[in-house]
Every structure is written in structure tokens, then in C-alpha cells.
Structure 1
Amino acid sequence: MKFLRFLLFLQLPVFLSAQTPLRRSESFFGLHFDFHAGLSDTLIGKTLTDSMIDSLLVKVKPDFIQVDCKGHPGVTSYPTKVGHTPKRFEKDILRLFREVTKRHGVALYLHYSGVWDDEAVKRHPHWSRINAEGKRDNQKTSLWSAYSDSLLIPQLKEMSDYGVDGVWVDGDCWATEPDYCTAAVEEFRMRTGIQEIPKKKSDPNYGQWLEFHRTAFRRYVRNYTDALHQYNPRFQVASNWSFSAMMPEPVDINVDFLSGDTEPLNGVNQSAFQARCLAPQGKPWDLMSWSFGYGWDDQVLSAKSAVQLSQEAAQVISMGGGYQAYWTQHRDGSLKTYAYGTMAALAAFCRERQPFCQNTKPVPQVALLYSNTGYKSEITTVYNTGDGKHTAMIGTLNALLYSQLPTEILQEHHLLGHTKEYPVIIIPEWKKLNEQLRNELVDYARQGGNLIVIGSETVKLFEKELGVTLHSTTHSIPFWGFDHLITGTKATYRPFQLLPGTQPFGQWFSQEDTRFAQAPIASIASLGKGKIAGIYFNFGEQHYKRETYAGRDFLGTLVKQLFQPTVEVKGSKMVNVALNQKNGTTYVNLINMAGNHANKSIHANDEIPPLYGLQVSVKTPRRPRQVVLQPENKPLPFAYKNGKAVFTISKLAIHSIAEIKL
């Protein structure tokens, strides 16, 4: 039902209707607020007012907002009848948020901590996870406890009764750790027949022990998701970071959307990586930036500008997803009104690009393999990104993106049966692969595809196909390069001999001079109708640690030895390209990546130097009717020759899209 209300605007009566809030699958831009309430927060609601929320929604016009309801301390910021609260409240802020958002037709979601609940394990010690030393965890609940059925699900049903649209469950997959409680141990023994319970990576069957916990975690999420959908079919559920880079698995739970929040520093490069891990999973998704720089050591918060956040947002929306940004609430649950201007400017940036980004799909170009098998064989806990196991993949991704190569990150279940869709596939330093996929990749190359294998261990999986003979031992190299470029390294390298017909690429050097060349570092060989290239040192790992222009150009040049991308950009290496399509129209996203992002001493900045005079060429099946620069809606003159539309972008501020109309 629609409710009519009257507003006075410019002294004229304007009739507006309260709209039904968008579902998450329809949403594009949102805001997240939380403050992780504690027992000492006895003034909740004191300064939060109807007008404070109203002015936010009028000025920013988000599709949804997410607000605090229960953070990691396990204390609710509303007067729950189910869980644990401060001794008193000034007002029920959850009810107030719902009343105002409903009036504006804005969806309301709740930030709720799942596995991590300090107060629950304090009051119910038998709900605690047990660590390998037999001690109770004072933060994390056990997946085998009554916590979910006795507190989490009843509490979320209570929140559903407020009329909220859904929940964003934080502290879930990434907070899950191996549990040595009696119930877990007994179930593991029953299911596997293994009696000796492993406690560390080097113990026999530790991989099975971790996989057992992953199955248990998915069972826990499935249980609360299904229970909430049964209680209220329109209630929408996401488990933060589930089915993401942190949890690289096929989506087998009926969650309504996927989501995650990037780290506060180097957010733009992080967003480029994390967005590419969420995008192929087949669910509505969004990614959140922290609106402030933050050092985990000193815990100082520094507000980011709309310019900096817009650059982060560009990486997300250019992959077809939704975007949200996170601001903390004050300890009474009120909002930081001084930041409304930043929020509004960020919203305007995203809204201008929404018609050209939302729900677009990548045009297959470069596929970078995220090996579920390889990742799980290396990590030491259930789900985690803090152990450095992604660094080689991220280093490789950065070299590709800064070479203007449109790149997707695809897991094994994405690529199986779909390898032929991609002109080139890159395997970045995984020591193990799904055997079925390995065989399909070889067949893909034999049938005309292009395969690049990177890493001193990874090349062993393809020795026969690479057209080389590998040495059994490895050593570090001090310098490497190609053409006339040299850079230093301490990367691990596996020596090899070229077989007839295999071509060398690049070299390593014993000293910092081309006079001291020792041996090639890469190779290119024909394989059936296609080609296969090998890089015999740990390129991605070293490029992540010490990014160089030599490393960037090395990988970009090697890729272009195998295939010519649909889009080429000349004029700056600081441009990232995302090539998308929707409804028969091609969209070339150009993102200005200038800025000192990786410097941990720089928390916030307000200036991104523009890029000028970019020449762009795009392969098209026929001459386009028009090329339009968006969101400026500016038709661009172009030349069409040899199947390419060539045009110039005079200035790239942050993110522009060339709309190719055929």
C-alpha cells in the first residue's frame, strides 16, 4: 500500500508517495552504521532524533541503510526481550530508524554479530568454542552449541518483528576457528573414522579437520537462514564475507545477497580484488568501504574524503555490484551529521554511473584462477585472509590491471566447463589444483586457448606441456628483467632447459647489469592449436611485496604475446580497465588509479591527479553508431579502422565509461 504525504518545497505543495523499499537485488547504493554497543552504553538514543535520520535520507537518498543492533560485545543497542542489554535506554533507536526509513521508502538492515558474541559466552560458558589447548574462547561461540537456536535465531526473529528488511551478519565466517569441544570431536570421529584429532597444520588429517569445520559453518548459516525465511519469507539475509575471497566456495546456501567490508587502508586496490572475487558467484552482491583510514596498531580514525571514497566505489560498481560505505555511530547511537556532505557527494558519484554499471557483466578477457584446492591446502584455519595466502594472486592481479588488462578472478567451479570462453587464463602460484580443472586447462590450450602458469612450484604441474625440463631444486635470484628493464628481487626461481620449439622470455642476472645475464625466467611454447607460457619464479609474491614498473610491464607484455585484448589504452599506466556489457551495449570502464594508496602512513587524501589525453581503441564487430562518454553524456568523435574504434578522452578525473553503441 502506498501512503500519500505532503511536503512543502520551494513554497509549492509536492505530492510524494512512500515507496516500497528496494530489495537488495535491486539496490545500488547504501550506508552502513554501527558502534558495537556495550553494557556501559546507558544513554542509547539520547541525541538521535527523527530529524537527524530524516535529513540524512533526504540529503543522501540511499537505497538502504544498515544500523547497529548487536556487535561483537554481544550487547544489543535496542531493548531486546531475548538477549543482553545495557541497564537502560533513552529511546528505542531501532524503532525510530524503522519509522523514518519506512516513511522514506528506504530499506533498513541490521548489523548483527554472529559467531562472535562476548556476552553470550560469558553468561553461557558451555556455548564457547574450545581451543586446541582445551581452554574456552571468551569471544567465539561454538557451532555445536545451543547459541544459534537459543539466542541468534530468536533475536533475529524479534528484529524481523520490527519490520526491518534484513540482516548483515558480521563476525561469522572469518570468526570461525577450529573447535575441540566434545560434540565436534565426536562428530568428526563418527563421520571420518579418524580417532586422533589433529591440532596443527603438520598433524595428519588437519586438512580434513578444517574441511569438517567448513561444513559445520555452512550448516550453521543454512540453519539460521532457512529459519528466518520460514518465519518471514521477505526477510533478507547475508553472512558477511561468506562465499568471498575469505570463503572461496560455491554458494550452496539460500542467502539473499553477498557482502563484505574492505580493510580501511589501501581500499581502492583492495576493492579491485574483493569485488572480482564476489562478482562471479551468481548472487546479488555489494562491497563496503570504511569511510575512514584506521591503523590497527594505534587505532586512530581519519575521515576519508568523497574523492577518495569515490575512487574505491569505482572499482566496485565497475564490476557490476552495489556499493556501500561505513560510518561509525556515536555511543548513543546517533549519527555523525558533519559527514552528510561527504555521504551525499559519494552518493551522487555512484548515482551518475548507475545506469552504466549496475548489473553489467564482464566481457571475458583475462581469467585469473583462484584455486579453491590450492588455497585450502595452504591455510591454517577455517576461513581467513590474514595469513598472506592471497598475496601472490593479488600481486599478479595488480600487474594485470595496471597493464590495462580487464581481468576476472574465477574459482575452480566458475572455470570448469567454461574455460573456452576466455582468451587467456592465468594460474598464479598455486601449488595444488583441482585435477579435473588441470586436465581441462590443458585441453583448453590444445584447442586454441592461451595458458600462463606462474610460480616455481606451479610449473611442476605442467612440466610436460610447457616444453621444458625442470630442475629438481630451486634457488633465489637477485635481479631479473626483460627487454632493457632490470629490477631486484629475492624471489624463488626454478631452473629449466628449453626443449626444441620453446621460446625464452626475460632473464635473470647475477648483478645489476644486462652484461650478467644467466638464464631465462619465462618461456612460451605452442600447445596444439594454442599456446602455453611459464614464469619460473614467484612473480606474484614479489610484485605484491615490491611493485615495480618492470614487473608490471613484464607480465603485461607476456600476456600480449599470447593475445591482443579488446581494449587498449595509451597515455598512462595509471588506468584500470573493466570491460562490461548489458543488453547488447558495451561499456568500457576507465578508472584513474593515481594516488599513493599502499602507503600505510597516508590514511586520508582529498586529491587524485587527473589523467589527460588518453587514446583508447576498442575492437568491435562493426562500426559503432556512436561512442558516448558517460556519465558526462558526451558523444566522442572516433575513427574506425581494422575493426577498431579509436577515440581520445581528453581528461579522466576518477571514473568514466565509454558507452559503445553498435
Structure 2
Amino acid sequence: MKVTLFIVVLSLLPIHLSAQSPARARKHPAPKRYFGLHFDFHAGRNDSLIGRNLSERGLDSLLTAVKPDFIQIDCKGHPGVSSYPSKVANATVAPHVVKDPLAFYRAVTRRHGVGLYLHYSGVYDDAVLAKHPGWAAVKADGSMNMSKASVHGPYVDSLLIPQLNELADYGADGVWVDGECWATVPDYSPAALAKFRAETGGQTVPRSTKDVGYGAFNEFARRSFIRYIGKYVDAVHRHQPTFRIASNWAYSSMMPEPITTNVDYLSGDLTPSNSVNSAALEGRVMAAQGQLYKKPWDLMSWSFWYEFNPVQRQGDQKSAVHLMQEAAEIIALGGGFQAYYQQSRDAALPRREQPVMAALSRFVRERQPFCEGSTPIPQIAMLYANTTVRAFNQSLFGNGQTHRISGVLTALLDAQLPVEVLAEHHLRGRLSQYPVIVVSQQDSLDPAFRRELLDYARQGGHLLLIGAKTTRLFADELGVVPMQESSAGPKWVLNNGASIVLTGPFQPVRISSPDTKPIGNFMQTEAGGPVPGVIATETQFGKGKLTAIYADLSRDYDKHQSSRLRDFIASFTRPLLPNPVVEVNGSHLVHVVLNRQRDRLAVNLINTGGRHADPQVFTYDEVPPLTNLTVRLRLDKKPKRIVQQPENKVLPVRYEKGVATVTVPQLALHSVLVVE
């Protein structure tokens, strides 16, 4: 998501069918997409030289050097000003378009066999609401929201659909609709309220969180946005079936729910800072959705450091090495990758960063044969519950609840454990495929899904429950009695001989069952003696096990990435996975992604060194290689060979008692061990 500077589109890979019913599949084959570049400038009313400096020679040079599958360019940003000569009646066109950028880019990209996609701001449109205030969403106090269109008003039929049809008629391959789910707001317009009353039967309209039925009103608003997507996607497909459409961040961590519309692909743009860890989380959410619903997906990296909060700050352009790490986290999960560079105000594409773009392209292309079409091998599932996201989000859609899992996920990845991030609809009916399921601060669970989690444990599964409120939800099954309200503040813990400080909320409990065993000890201070208290417990539950940590851990690891906290979290997880398919030793700077790719095992190793998580560091251009990593794989038979790709290096294999062991002499940034 972007607020002032923006981004782009797509990827694709074949993915397996699910037993669940996907949204209706398109009948035409999707063209291949894997690596692309995005450019935008959010044209405004003062942009009067658009098209002046468009250079066929310059664009030829860029496309020849970088060889992207597609580029994406500006056509209408959040100001609502079209940067091409739109003929749609309600369009606001920049004051003087010297040369039509869309026609120019379509002609040149077609010659190169490069796809053309367009950045278009949807719900977020200042200009059309200045013309038609009655099209705006209405706030709870009755005032108009002059940036966000109502999804119940004329906007979708009178501007959005006609302009998307117009873009399709240019011969563009598709559109990346920005300013969508994250920009949608509760709408108190007369049309919205009439539909709310008709759907719910209620006459009283809740206008604040204190009002009865406020949650139901927000659910109505969410359903309305999804219907809005479905309406314009289907309408444009009727006009041009091969025109491909994505709504930015739809069905992602901001909206982790079943896909019920006919969007063609999934996409989003990462946080511009700490994007390596952001890619690891967001990519796993997208991968799960893509695999279940057979949708290609991609994520986009900002090519420069930027921070939105608490104030907007922009830093340096990122180096090729920095962007390669971000790309590795995404393509290792089977997704496509794109990078965002700012487009000039005259719609020309800057070439200053062309050497970085070309290096990034080579990096992705070298790994494409070993990553594209990958699907994960189930090991550890981390629950990201849609019910929790909806219960606690301040906005209709947003990723404000990722903090509940992000730190724990990063800690597990930093401990070289393979993890997927899955919502309820990904896990239902297939929990037993995962030896371990981690439930970190998922404080609002659907009762039926909670029962399914417990049935999974009874039948032999292992649940790791983390968090003050989450463990309270399972108190009876854990054999504990919650004491006074949970408390925050520094608490010193002794575990496996090491002291760790925890600062998040903590739930004091008293053990009430002889089947429940305490783990670890509290200390009075870091240097003090032990004091009473229960940090964690282990409970045999049917054929399985419930392990609980009575503290919120995620923010602590997000902030500090303490090696002791990493080991603390891993010490509870590893025993629950006694026979892992893969084990990697030799460095904690490796993320491991375990895949099935083209009927072969593919182990992705990503070097996550570098100061990507430091908010004071804009970029870096050197990541020291890791050496002599030991990789152990549990295999039914000795492999013919194990090859480190794309280096094409055959590694000596030692096979004993069902375990193949290899040593990786050097890991630069990202290698894939292909088992043959």
C-alpha cells in the first residue's frame, strides 16, 4: 500500500488444486509473468508536460538491458488525474498531454514482447469527488470523505468501469488497482444505509464502537467492498476477457479471507523499510491464497527506503544486494517479484538505476527455474486468523494485526525452521498434515475452528499457544487457572540456563492439573534469584500435546531480535517437530523454505545478513557470505545427487539411516538445493 508514491503488478506460477471451491476460473490461459518493473508518479493538476520527453531509444535500451516480463506505468493515481488523454466523460485529465504515454508504451513494449500493466487508483480519487461530491463516502458525523468514493454510489459505473474498459481497448495487458481495500472506509451515505437496513433489518445505525451493532455495520461495509470488486472485475472481463485485474492487497494479510471474486492475480507492495522480514510474512500469506485458489501472485519492493509513520521520511535508493534479499524471500515461496521506481513527472522512465535493475533481473532469472511453481511441504503452520484480524483492526481492512505473529515468525525463521502462514480456510480439513501449529496472540477464534484445533491435538497434533489472552482462551484444556488480569513490564526468565527479558503482557496462572508440567523459571531481576510463577507449560492432550507460553512475545522480537529470545521460542518449537524433513546448522542468518518443485525436493537457503531491520539504516551494499552450512534431509532413499543452484554445484552426499547430509561451502545470498 502507498499513500504518496506507488507501485505495481504481477507474477505467476502454476499451483495445485484444493479440495475447497475456488472462485470461478478464467477460461483463457494466463500469460506468464514472473519479473517486472513498476513506475508511477500520481499525476496532478499541475502536470502540463506529460509525454514531452518520451524516448523510444531510451525505452528500447531499458527493456533490452533488464528484460522484464512486464512493466507497469502510471495512468491515474490518488489525485484522480489521468496521465493519458482519457475520453471518459467523468475523467479528469492532466492539463496538457504532449504525447499519449499509453499509446507510446504499448507500441514499444509490444515490439519487445513485454507486457504492459497500468497503475490505477480505485476507491481513492480526489478529482472525481471534487466534481461529484455526492459520489463520496459519508463519515459517521455526516460530513463527506472527499478522497474516498462510496462503493454504493455512481463512481463504479460512471468512471471506474468505463476507464478500465478504455485501458483494455488500448491493448494493455492488465491493471493494478491501487487505493482499494486499505482505502475503503465505513460509509454512511443514504445508499449505503438503505442497503444496510435492507440486509440486516435493523433501523438503528451504529456510528461508533460504543454503539450496539457496530461490528455488524463494519461487516456489511466489508461485504460491500467485496461486491464492488466483483462487480467491476466481471464487467471489464465481459468487455475484454483477457484483460487481467488485481486489486492491491485484496486477499492478503489486510484481507485474509476466502477469494470470492474473479480477480486474475494477487499483488501488494511491501513496507519500504525492513522489507526482508516483511516479504517473509506477506509472501507466506499470499502463497497460501495463491495455492488454494490457483491464483498467480507477486509482491513488489520499493527500490528506495521510505517510512510513513510517525512522519514520512525518504532515504536512499536501495542497492542491488539489498533488493536481491527481498526478492529471494518472495521467489523462494513460489511468487513473482517486481521493483518500484519513481516515474518522472513527464511520464518518462528514469534510467539512472538501470544497472541495478539489470543486476536484479539477472538474479531473479537465474533462480526462476528452481523456484517458479513451488509449493510448500507441510511442517510448521502459523495461524493468522481472519476472525482475529477483523475483531481488532481499527480500519475495515489493514495489516495492523500482523504484529501478533510477525516477531514469532521471524524468530522461527531465524532458527532455521520452515514455516507457513495460514488462515482458517487454508487449514480446515487438513490440520493433520502439519506436525506443529503455532497460535500466537490469535485472541478471537471462531468456536468451531477452536474445536477443530483441539481435535487436531487429541489425534496427535502439537499446538504451541503463545500470548496472554490466547492461553487464557485455552485455560481449561491447558490445566491452568488464570489469576489476576494480565500484566506488562519487564520480566526476567531463566530457560535452559539463559536469562531472557520479556516486556509484553503476561498472564499469571496456577497449575490445576497433574498432567500439566511447568517449564522455566522467573527471576527477581536479571542477576537475582528465582521467584514463583509459571512462564510456560506442557500438557499431554489425547495423543498430542498442548504447549503454552503465557506471554506476548511477538513485539519483543520485532523490536530487538534478541538471540536469546529466538532460542527461547525455538526451544519450545523444535521438540514438537522431532523428525523434521530439513535441518540447517552453521548460521542463524539463514531462512529455510522447504518446497516441492516439479516433482523434486527444493530447499531454499536465504542469507538474511545485513542491517535491513535497522530503522536508522537506509540501505547496504554488502552481505558477507555464509560458509560451511550443514544441511540434513530425511529422505526415503539416497538421492542420485543434490545440486546447489543456480551455481550448478554438485554437493557430496552422505546418506545414513534415512538422512542425507551435505555441506554447503558458501551461501552468497540465495541458493536452492535441488534433490534429484
TM over 0.5, shorter chain = yes
Uncovered stretches (5+) of structure 1, i.e. residues with no partner: 1-21
Query: In the alignment, is residue 459 of structure 1 matched against residue 441 of structure 2?
Result: no
Distance 1:116 1:481, change over 3 A: farther
Out of 176, 187, 195, the position equivalent to 1:179 is 187
**1:146: which partner in 2?**
154
| Paired residues of 2:510 and 2:534 also in contact (CA < 8 A) | no
Distance 1:529 1:513 in 2: 40
Task: Using structure 1 for the length normalisation, give the TM-score.
Answer: 0.94
**2:415: which partner in 1?**
403
Out of 82, 97, 107, the position equivalent to 1:89 is 97
Query: In the alignment, is residue 495 of structure 1 matched against residue 522 of structure 2?
Result: no
Out of 554, 562, 565, the position equivalent to 1:548 is 562
Cα deviation, 1:295-354, whole Å, max 9, x if unaligned, reads 333543421111100000000001001111101111001111111111110010000000
| Paired residues of 2:505 and 2:551 also in contact (CA < 8 A) | yes
Greater relative contact order (Cα < 8 A, sep 6+): 2
How much has 1:134 moved relative to structure 2?
1.3
Distance 2:532 2:167 in 1: 67
Q: Which moved more, 1:604-613 or 1:31-40?
A: 604-613
| Paired residues of 2:521 and 2:530 also in contact (CA < 8 A) | no
Query: In the alignment, is residue 239 of structure 1 matched against residue 254 of structure 2?
Result: no
Out of 311, 320, 329, the position equivalent to 1:315 is 329
**1:41: which partner in 2?**
47
Query: In the alignment, is residue 70 of structure 1 matched against residue 47 of structure 2?
Result: no
**1:230: which partner in 2?**
238
Letter in 2 for 1:377: A
**1:448: which partner in 2?**
460
Out of 300, 322, 332, the position equivalent to 2:314 is 300
Distance 1:163 1:371 in 2: 40
| Paired residues of 1:484 and 1:514 also in contact (CA < 8 A) | no
5 Å-filtered alignment, 1:88-487, equals 88-281=96-289, 282=293, 283-296=295-308, 297-385=311-399, 387=400, 389-476=401-488, 477-487=490-500
Distance 2:389 2:314 in 1: 33
Task: Using structure 2 for the length normalisation, give the TM-score.
Answer: 0.92
Distance 1:72 1:612 in 2: 47
Out of 621, 624, 640, the position equivalent to 2:639 is 624
Distance 1:543 1:150 in 2: 48
Distance 2:46 2:485 in 1: 60
Q: Which moved more, 1:337-346 or 1:496-505?
A: 496-505
Aligned residues: 638
5 Å-filtered alignment, 1:626-641, equals 626-641=641-656
How much has 1:489 moved relative to structure 2?
2.8
How much has 1:87 moved relative to structure 2?
2.1
Letter in 2 for 1:255: V
Cα deviation, 1:363-411, whole Å, max 9, x if unaligned, reads 00110001111111111221112x4x22121011111111111110000
Distance 1:144 1:298, change over 3 A: closer
Q: Which moved more, 1:562-571 or 1:294-303?
A: 294-303
Out of 567, 590, 594, the position equivalent to 1:575 is 590
| Paired residues of 1:395 and 1:542 also in contact (CA < 8 A) | yes
| Paired residues of 2:612 and 2:619 also in contact (CA < 8 A) | no
| Paired residues of 2:472 and 2:507 also in contact (CA < 8 A) | no
Instruction: Report % sequence identity.
Output: 46
Distance 1:295 1:474 in 2: 33
Out of 609, 612, 620, the position equivalent to 2:624 is 609
Letter in 2 for 1:371: A
Letter in 2 for 1:165: D
User: SS in structure 2 opposite 1:316?
Assistant: helix
How much has 1:24 moved relative to structure 2?
5.7
Uncovered stretches (5+) of structure 2, i.e. residues with no partner: 1-27
Distance 1:519 1:526 in 2: 21
Letter in 1 for 2:326: E
Distance 2:210 2:422 in 1: 29
Query: In the alignment, is residue 60 of structure 1 matched against residue 66 of structure 2?
Result: yes
User: SS in structure 2 opposite 1:380?
Assistant: coil
CA RMSD of aligned residues (A): 1.5
